[in-house]
Structure 1
């Protein structure tokens, strides 16, 4: 199993707009071989730094299945408007990928 996560720092006051972008996009993830599930997570605001943290987390059967998604036409379509909302970000997103070592 493989977990692909992007960490976002969203400017305070832009949280609902950011969530709307995610809820309104057509990712076609469910059509991808090896896809298991997706969650958009919202953390507690960090007022002294001016942002609210979010994480997009997708779960895949394997790292190879995730990489195939990133090379797909579905991926390009889902991310075609990503640059349109830069004003809501406090810095660029940070990708992190993890493989399961042990699980129950």
Structure 2
């Protein structure tokens, strides 16, 4: 498993604009080989957000970043005035995972 996270810092008062841009965009992820799940996380600190995507492998994530789907997804909803700074990417290889037990 491979996880990619972008950390976003949003200008005060622009949080609703940021969330709306994510809610209304076309993600293109559903058809990408190796994609597992996505979550947009809102932190406790004002203006703190993280996009969290889980992939079957680093290779699957890297293939996504070189794809037409990636370019299309990232050409939507300009963030001018919304972002306080450029997003910061962090990537992680899973060394241990645990799932909830299946319901009986």
- Same fold? TM cut 0.5: yes
Which consecutive aligned stretches of 4+ in structure 1 deviate over 4 angstroms post-superposition? none
- 1:100 counterpart (90, 94, 97): 94
Aligned residues of 1:34 and 1:60 also touching (Cα < 8 A): yes
Deviation, 1:61, is: 0.2
Q: What secondary structure sits across from 2:30 in the alignment? A: helix
Q: What secondary structure sits across from 1:6 in the alignment? A: strand
Partner of 1:86: 80
Gapped regions of structure 2 (runs ≥ 5): 99-104
Q: Quote the Cα distance in structure 2 between the aligned partners of 1:45 and 1:103.
A: 27
Residue 57 of structure 2 is aligned to residue 62 of structure 1: yes
Deviation, 1:81, is: 3.2
Q: What secondary structure sits across from 1:85 in the alignment? A: coil
Q: What secondary structure sits across from 1:67 in the alignment? A: helix
Aligned residues of 1:12 and 1:45 also touching (Cα < 8 A): no
Structure number having the greater helix percentage: 1
RMSD of equivalent CA atoms: 1.1
Normalising by structure 2, what TM-score?
A: 0.89
Q: Quote the Cα distance in structure 1 between the aligned partners of 2:94 and 2:84.
A: 30
